[in-house]
């Protein structure tokens, strides 16, 4: 078996293997935030027809995706996670910006939340599989 480890040593120099070894483990706070984002997006979708509630929800969502991005940013060995958090935040910030120029079509609001929800689901699945 030791011979096998010795044979595997050259592999350790490759970036993918190094990244895999040094990658960050499961973080319950990170997982919690992305789960909340997914759940909120699913519920906020139903309030898109009411402009006042929808705008408040959009601000709340943008706050949470911002929190997720900033939280992910300083976790060591989390480059891919941070990039995904940044992209997700950009989708949510776009919805808040859109409410500065009313009226916002309910369909636009629903499509935005669908994008946020499906992206959050993809991220949540991957974060949930992180090594514990």
Partner 1 sequence: MTLDEIQSQLAAMSNAGDPTFSKFANDINQIVEQAKVGQLSNADVAEILRDAQSQLAILEDMSQLSFKETLNTCITGLIMIAGAV
Distance of alpha carbon 109 from alpha carbon 44, whole angstroms: 9
Q: Does 72 bind partner 1 (CB under 8 A)?
A: no
Structure-token pair, residue 36? 């909340």
CB of 10 to partner 1, least distance (A): 14
Residues 91-130: x/- map of binding to partner 1 (CB under 8 A)? x--x---x------x-xx--xx-xx--xx--xx-xx--xx
Looking at 65, 72, 81, 96, which residue binds partner 1 (CB under 8 A)? 81
- Contact in structure between 116 and 37 (CB atoms under 8 Å): yes
Alpha helices, DSSP H only, in 11-78?
15-22, 28-44, 51-73
Structure-token pair, residue 88? 């997700």
Query: Which residue, among 128, 123, 110, 90, has the nearest Cα to 42 in the 3D structure?
Result: 110
Determine the interface stretch with partner 1 among 13-21, 31-39, 40-48, 56-64 (rule: CB under 8 A): 13-21
Site size for partner 1, by CB under 8 A? 37
- Cα distances from 128 to residues 26, 57, 80, 90, 99, in angstroms, run 7, 26, 14, 22, 33
CB of 105 to partner 1, least distance (A): 6
Contacts with partner 1 by CB under 8 A lie at 1-2, 4-5, 8, 16-17, 19-21, 23, 80-81, 83-84, 87-88, 90-91, 94, 98, 105, 107-108, 111-112, 114-115, 118-119, 122-123, 125-126, 129-131
């Amino acid at each position: 078996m030791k011979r096998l480890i010795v044979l595997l040593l050259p592999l350790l120099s490759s970036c993918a293997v190094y990244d895999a070894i040094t990658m960050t483990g499961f973080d319950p706070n990170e997982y919690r935030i992305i789960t909340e984002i997914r759940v909120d997006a699913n519920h906020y979708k139903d309030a898109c027809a009411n402009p006042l509630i929808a705008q408040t929800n959009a601000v709340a969502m943008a706050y949470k995706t911002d929190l997720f991005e900033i939280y992910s940013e300083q976790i060591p060995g989390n480059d891919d996670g941070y990039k995904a958090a940044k992209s997700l935040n950009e989708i949510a910030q776009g919805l808040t910006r859109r409410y500065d120029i009313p009226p916002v079509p309910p369909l636009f609001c629903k499509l935005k939340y669908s994008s946020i929800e499906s992206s959050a689901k993809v991220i949540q699945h991957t974060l949930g599989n992180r090594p514990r």
